[in-house]
Amino acid sequence: MPQTIVKGYKALMDEANARIETLGVEDARALHGREDVVFVDLRDPRELEREGRMPGAVHCPRGMLEFWIDPDSPYHKPVFAQDKRFVFFCAGGWRSALAAATADEMGLTPVAHVEGGFKAWKEAGGPVEQPGA
């Protein structure tokens, strides 16, 4: 018997986007490089190798986010203990919406995510470090 999904990804995304700040690429570009803002790249390593990186962004694979944020976790990363604004992005803006909502639920504030993700960042001419550079 097939499993019944109680709440699909679209509902989860709608809830996340209703609760967290969504930044357009131009707004995100205006924040890039500021000392009080941490950009968090949620893409997996293969995506970074294929597409490049946002200069200065912290790489946190999506599967590790909760463990890296929680100071009680043996995997905690000090970057997430800073009193800064955290801006999440992924390839297209889906994972980052869910991740930002999760980070907010965990008490990491303020958080936002980039609408359209790294793809939109690149298309808008945002700075990119190419693979192997």
Query: What range defines the domain where residue 21 resides?
Result: 17-123
- Side chain identity at residue 18, one-letter code: A
- Does some domain include residue 107? yes
**CATH number of the domain that 91 lies in?**
3.40.250.10
- Does some domain include residue 131? no
- Report d(CA 101, CA 106) in Å as an integer: 9
- Does some domain include residue 98? yes
* Per-residue pLDDT tens over the stretch 74-86: 999 999 999 999 9
Mean pLDDT of 109-125: 97
- Does some domain include residue 72? yes
Mean pLDDT of 31-59: 97
Domains in the chain: how many in total?
1
- Does some domain include residue 43? yes
Mean pLDDT of 77-101: 97
> What pLDDT does residue 113 have?
98
* Per-residue pLDDT tens over the stretch 8-43: 999 999 999 999 999 999 999 999 999 999 999 999
> What pLDDT does residue 122 have?
96
CA angle 75, 128, 29 (to 5 degrees): 85
- Does some domain include residue 52? yes
> Would you say the pTM of this structure is higher than 0.75?
yes
Whose structure tokens read 């905690």? 76
Rounded to whole angstroms, what are the CA distances from 68 to 32, 48, 61, 92? 22, 19, 10, 22
- Does some domain include residue 31? yes
